[in-house]
Structures are given as structure tokens and as C-alpha cells.
Structure 1
Amino acid sequence: MFDRLTAYLDSIRARDPAPRSRWEILTYPGVWAVFWHRIAHWLFEAELHFLARFVNHFSRFLTAIDIHPGAKIGRNFFIDHGFTVIGETAVIGNDVTIYQNVTLGGTNPTNGIGGKRHPTIMDNVIIGSGAQVIGPIVVGERARIGANAVVTDDVPEGATMIGFKARSTLVPVETYMREFMPYGTPCNEQSEPDMRRFEALEQQLTEMRAELEALRRAAATDAAEVANTQRSGSNS
């Protein structure tokens, strides 16, 4: 058990440069939220639903993180900061990272049957702060969900999703980022193909402004010459 705990704390340290020691990581609310969820989930599987809910509410009071006892969570799950909500039928794989204010939410079935309502998050996924992942969708392995993205459709393996409604940047993660990506949001030109188009448009706008200014100066010069010619003609 000690070796598993050490490996878990080391996996968090590899994704978060802030802590100076494993002891510091033990103060993280996300670590305690996962700890209490393990207990709540065991009670839930044993059909001790009231006790499971009691542990769930106690954990939410302490950590500001709400994980339904029915959610299934794999190894090395890291919630960086709090205010995250994870629904009952959510399934989370191994080495998943979630930042603050994320919701793994469910849909309301029209047939009145609960069923699978929440997302399935595959291994090594990163979900940025404020993201909303809604419905019984699958987020593929190594996918990145950018901050404040709203995802309601399946996410391909290795894709990066941004925006509202979320769209893929069409750049597979493995082609530009093999290491951990904080907040799941690409921040360089290589991972933002739209940025190159934006910069090209800015360059064109700058050139057009320069041409317009040159035309204005030429028009002013011509007008001054015409005025001088007219004054010369009137004086003669």
C-alpha cells in the first residue's frame, strides 16, 4: 500500500511543479477527494447507498469536490484544485488530470431510464479549468480538453478540443507535445494553426493601411499643386 501511495504522489509531482515534497501533496484537496471516493465507491458497490452518500457529502464539505460514489476512477487520478463535479456513471481511466471548475455532467434521458449518462475519459487525458464534458461520450486516450471548452461529442484519440462548442485543432497531440500539457490548452503557434492565418491577416491589414496612407499623402500633394497653380493663374 505504501508503494502504491508513493507512486501516486510521485505521479502528481510529475504533473505539478509547485510541491516541494510528497508531504505537501498530501495536503491537496484533490488527493483527499480521491481517497474518500475510494471508500464511498466501495460502499456504493456493496449497495450501502446511504453510507456511500454520507461519505460523499463529507468529502465534498472538506474538499469542495463532488464525486458521485458510483463513478469509476482508475489509477493516478489527479484533481488540481477544487470545485469539480463528477457524475454517477462517469468512467475515468488511468493518469487522468482535471483542473478546477470542471464538470463531467450527464444528460437527462427522455425514456426515464438512468443508464449511462456521463462521459468516459480514457487514459492520459487532460481537462483544462472550466471545461464542461457532457453526456455519455468517450474522450479518447491522450486527448486534451482546453480551458472553458464545452464538449458534447466523442473526442478522437490524441485530439485537442477548444472553444464553445468545442472543436478540434486538427493537430494530433503526439505530433507536437509528448510531455504533459498544463490545463490541456496549447499555447504555442505550432499547436494553433488558426494563429498563423490571423497573423497573415494582420500583416495584410498593416500593408493596406500603409498603402492607404501613401494614397492620402499623394492626394494631398496633388491638391496642393492644383491650388498653387490656380493662385498663380489668378495673380497673372
Structure 2
Amino acid sequence: MLSAIRKDIQAALARDPAAKSALEVILVYPGFHALVLHRIAHWLMNRKIRLAARMLAACNRALTGIEIHPCAVIGEGVFIDHGMGVVIGETAVIGDHVTIYQGVTLGGTGKDVGKRHPTIGNHVILSSGATILGPFTVGDYAKIGAGSVVLHEVPPHCTVVGIPGRVVRRGGGPGGERAAEGGEAVKPADPVQEKLNKMAVHIERLEQQLAKQAELVEQRLQSLEQISRLEKVR
């Protein structure tokens, strides 16, 4: 447990430019406080001291604004930045070196039994307000965009944004950045551009139809002109 706590301090110092010292992290960072209290509550839960674990988790929520079920498994080097409104469910599993911003929810859909909450891989970034619901995996080095709602598995090294969440970048390197080689950027669909493309296709079809109609009119005029000449000859 002490090793995990040390790595949590190191994670805060490494990932938050505002953190100036380990003492500052220990004294004033609610995300760090929430992790420490959770690790104690999880230790109690593993030893079947369930009521004490749940009471400590309730105190954790009251003190930090972060709700973590004592049964949730959290790896080392995790950094909860700001943290207010973070909710981590009972069967959630979080890997090592994960960054979690305020308002993140790792919850269930209410339809599953047993494993109900997400499994988060290593080095994942969960941006503010992200909601991840269901017993699926978010792969290593993935990034979940702010305010996204994710309901399906996320492959490693991908960036997901939107409601519902969709992959907008694949093949990123460590830390979720796009790889120099082999990375594939997938641009999200632009609804305005899609409308313009449909309008362009429709206009092209109309132009083709008008051209055909003009050709038919010209042919009819030529026929009428020929008929008129024949009548004059008669």
C-alpha cells in the first residue's frame, strides 16, 4: 500500500504543473486524499471488514467529493485531478498510471449482473465529465474526451469523443499520442459537410435532367421547323 501511495504522489507531481512539492500534494490534493482513503477501505474490504470499509468510503465522499466503492480495484501511479464528482463503481478496475479528471463516472447500465463496471487499462486519460458505462475494457493508452459517453469497448491507443462515444483517432503511441508511423487519424463526420455533399449530388442530377429536357425541346423544335417547311412547299 505504501508503495502505491508513493507512486500516487509521484504521479501528481509529474502530471500537474501546479504541484510544487510532495508535501503540497499530501496536504491539499483531494484526489490524493481520496486514493489514500480508498486504498485503506479496499484493504479492509479484502479482509471482510465490510461495514468499516463502507463507512470509510462514505467519509471519503464527504471529505473529497469523490465516490469510490471499496471493492473497486485501482492500480499504482493514478492521478485524480480536481476530482469533484468522480464516481467509481463496485466492480470497476483501473490500471496503472491512469489520469482521471473531475466529473468522470465509471458506472453500470443497470442491465448487467456480476461484473457491471468498466475495466480501464494502463496509461489511460479520462477527461472531465466522461461517462463510461458497462462491463467492457478501455484499452491501454486510450483517451476519452471531455463529456463523452462511452458504452462499448475502446481499443488500445485510441481517442474517443462524443455522445455516443466514437473513435476519432487510432494507432497512437505511448500516452495516447498519434504514432509517427502507422497511425490512422479518423475524422469525425461533419454534418454540415455531409449536407453540402448531398446538395451537390442533388444539383448535379438536376442539371443532368435539365440538359436532357433541353435536348428534347430542341429536337421537337427542329421537328416543328421541318413540318413547317413541308407545309410551305405544299
**Which category describes the TM-score, using the shorter chain as reference length?**
0.7 to 0.9
Distance in 2 (alpha carbons) for counterparts of 1:103 and 1:58: 19
| Residue 13 of structure 1, CA deviation | 1.5
Alignment pair present for 1:77 and 2:71: no
Q: Secondary structure at the match of 2:164?
A: coil
Q: Which 5+ residue runs of structure 1 have no aligned equivalent?
A: 182-189, 205-236
- CA deviation string 1:139-158 (max 9, x = no partner): 00000000000000000000
- CA deviation string 1:68-115 (max 9, x = no partner): 0000011011111121000000000000010000100013246xxx40
8 Å CA contact 1:162–1:168 kept in 2: the answer is yes
Matched with 1:19 is: 19
| Residue 6 of structure 1, CA deviation | 4.3
8 Å CA contact 2:99–2:123 kept in 1: the answer is yes
Alignment pair present for 1:136 and 2:135: yes
1:170-181 aligned within 5 A: 170-174=169-173, 178=174
- Identical-pair percentage: 44
Quick one: which of 83, 91, 97 aligns to 1:95?
97
Matched with 2:38 is: 37
| Residue 167 of structure 1, CA deviation | 0.2
Distance in 1 (alpha carbons) for counterparts of 2:7 and 2:38: 19
Change beyond 3 A, Cα 1:41–1:17: same
Distance in 1 (alpha carbons) for counterparts of 2:89 and 2:6: 28
Matched with 1:208 is: none
What's the C-alpha RMSD, in Å, of the aligned pairs?
A: 2.7
8 Å CA contact 2:102–2:128 kept in 1: the answer is yes
Distance in 1 (alpha carbons) for counterparts of 2:2 and 2:69: 26
| Residue 19 of structure 1, CA deviation | 1.4
Q: Secondary structure at the match of 2:10?
A: helix
Runs of 4+ in 1 over 6 A off after TM superposition: none
- CA deviation string 1:19-40 (max 9, x = no partner): 1222221211010000000111
- CA deviation string 1:165-216 (max 9, x = no partner): 0000133222xxx5578xxxxxxxx967359x799x6xx9xxxxxxxxxxxx
8 Å CA contact 1:56–1:67 kept in 2: the answer is yes
Distance in 2 (alpha carbons) for counterparts of 1:170 and 1:8: 29
Alignment pair present for 1:123 and 2:139: no
Matched with 2:181 is: none
**For the pair shown, which has the larger CA radius of gyration, 1 or 2?**
2
Residue identity in the other structure for 2:187: P
- CA deviation string 1:11-70 (max 9, x = no partner): 222111111222221211010000000111111111111111000001111100000000
Distance in 2 (alpha carbons) for counterparts of 1:25 and 1:180: 25
Distance in 1 (alpha carbons) for counterparts of 2:4 and 2:129: 30
Distance in 2 (alpha carbons) for counterparts of 1:24 and 1:35: 15
Change beyond 3 A, Cα 1:169–1:67: same
Residue identity in the other structure for 1:48: I
Distance in 1 (alpha carbons) for counterparts of 2:176 and 2:142: 11
